[in-house]
């Protein structure tokens, strides 16, 4: 029987390493439950989670990323009060920091659909719908993940990056949505390995700081509708 209940948690502002450790623990519990179910021919429901968090300034490099896309040395990182981690998601380098909404869905896709491309497109769709609530037209850039503005012309700029890991159809990592993000921190990397496109935020597009809690609520609602999940 499919379990579409999703446990929601907001971790607030949390150090990246601490959040990664917590996320790994939840992820491993889900994978272990699935493994035990298969080995013992049981059907114990795997718990789904949706976690929202903000991080202090940090750069993360995915498995397929190039270290040279970080343009700072250790002294530069210290000057920017930023940390740096090589992590186990897909994708290249990105930045997380205050004012950016990071979403970590830890879902057993056997409860929804076993299609990683559809999973990414559905996450993108939830962000696109959220942007539309504020009169911002988001879309996709062919050949790239994430959510973009003006993707069909030379003004293309990225507002939400994505990078996920999936094992036994359980997901972790997720999306980084620029709400009131300090965009100057992106100047210290080649974002997602793309050196000829701009990065933007809701604040930059709208000309004012956005209520992050309101954005969280809207994104959560759109994710619940699109994944047909019950958030508890």
Q: Which residues are catalytic?
A: 192
Kindly state the DSSP code that residue 185 receives in the 8-state scheme. G
- 181 CA to centre of own chain: 14
In the chain, count H helices and then E strands: 5, 12
- Evaluate whether 193 touches 93 at the Cβ level (below 8 Å): yes
> How far apart, in whole angstroms, are the C-alpha atoms of residue 18 and residue 53?
11
In degrees, rounded to 5, the angle at the alpha carbon of residue 207 between the alpha carbons of residues 202 and 211 is: 55
Q: DSSP assignment of 7-20, as one string?
A: EEEEEEE--HHHHH
Element (H, E) at 70: none
Q: How far is CA 224 from CA 8, 135, 140, 143, 178, in A?
A: 11, 21, 21, 26, 21
In 80-223, beta strands by DSSP E = 83-86, 93-96, 100-106, 138-139, 147-149, 157-167, 170-178, 198-199
- Evaluate whether 202 touches 137 at the Cβ level (below 8 Å): no
């Amino acid at each position: 029987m499919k379990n579409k209940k999703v446990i929601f948690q907001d971790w607030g502002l949390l150090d990246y390493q601490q959040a990664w450790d917590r996320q790994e623990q939840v992820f491993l519990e889900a994978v272990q439950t699935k493994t035990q179910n298969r080995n013992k021919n049981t059907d114990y429901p795997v718990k789904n989670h949706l976690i929202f968090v903000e991080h202090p300034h940090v750069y993360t490099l995915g498995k397929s990323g190039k270290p040279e896309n970080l343009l700072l040395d250790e002294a530069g990182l210290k000057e920017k009060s930023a940390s740096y981690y090589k992590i186990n998601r897909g994708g290249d380098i990105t930045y997380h920091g205050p004012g950016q909404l990071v979403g970590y869905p830890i879902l057993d896709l056997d409860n929804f659909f076993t299609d990683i491309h559809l999973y990414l497109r559905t996450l993108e769709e939830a962000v696109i719908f959220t942007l539309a609530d504020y009169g911002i037209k988001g879309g996709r850039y062919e050949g790239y993940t994430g959510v973009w503005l003006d993707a069909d012309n030379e003004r293309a700029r990225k507002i939400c990056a994505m990078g996920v890991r999936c094992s036994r159809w359980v997901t972790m990592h997720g999306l980084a949505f620029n709400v009131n993000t300090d965009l100057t921190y992106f100047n210290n990397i080649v974002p997602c390995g793309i050196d000829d496109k701009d990065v933007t935020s809701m604040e930059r597009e709208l000309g004012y700081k956005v209520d992050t809690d309101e954005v969280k609520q809207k994104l959560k609602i759109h994710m619940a509708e699109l994944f047909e999940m019950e958030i508890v």
